[in-house]
Amino acid sequence: MARQTKSIQLSKEERSSLKTLFSGGNDSNRKQTRARILDLLARNTPVAEIASLLGCSPTTAYNVKHRYQSEGLESALAEKPRSGKPPRISGETRARITALACSTAPEGHARWTLRLLADKAVELGFIDSVSHNHVGSILKKTS
């Protein structure tokens, strides 16, 4: 059985800000989709139809509607911060590993290898443990 929900009423200011979003085109696709969801909800379009028109799930439309009703237009359009896992290696440690890679290779070696860099970073106390693959990704991100 489909959920029965009340339609939302957008004020004139909210409608004009949504029109500005549609014509501007500088916002993210997700924000544009949320704005279109709100516009269609205000026109009493069924949620299932909104989902098929915009290529999103009905749950997304319900969530946008709920956030609009509880927190307002800006909250319904904006991304909420994501928790995410904090980086394991700090920026300072990354810089030290990069500087180590730019230094001269140890005696007996023509150049630094990823395994040598990982071992030396642990030996010098930059970090407790690091894999050679992680050192490679650190260096790859440094141009």
Per-residue pLDDT tens over the stretch 54-96: 999 999 999 999 999 999 888 888 888 888 888 888 999 999 9
Position 5 pLDDT exceeds 80: no
Task: Spell out the SS3 assignment of 117-143.
Answer: HHHHHHHCCCCCCCCHHHHHHHHHHCC
**pLDDT category, 20, cuts 50, 70, 90?**
confident
Question: Can you give the residue ranges of every domain in the chain?
Answer: 12-77, 91-141
Tokens representing residue 108 in the block = 């007996």
Positive or negative: CA dihedral 50, 56, 62, 68: negative
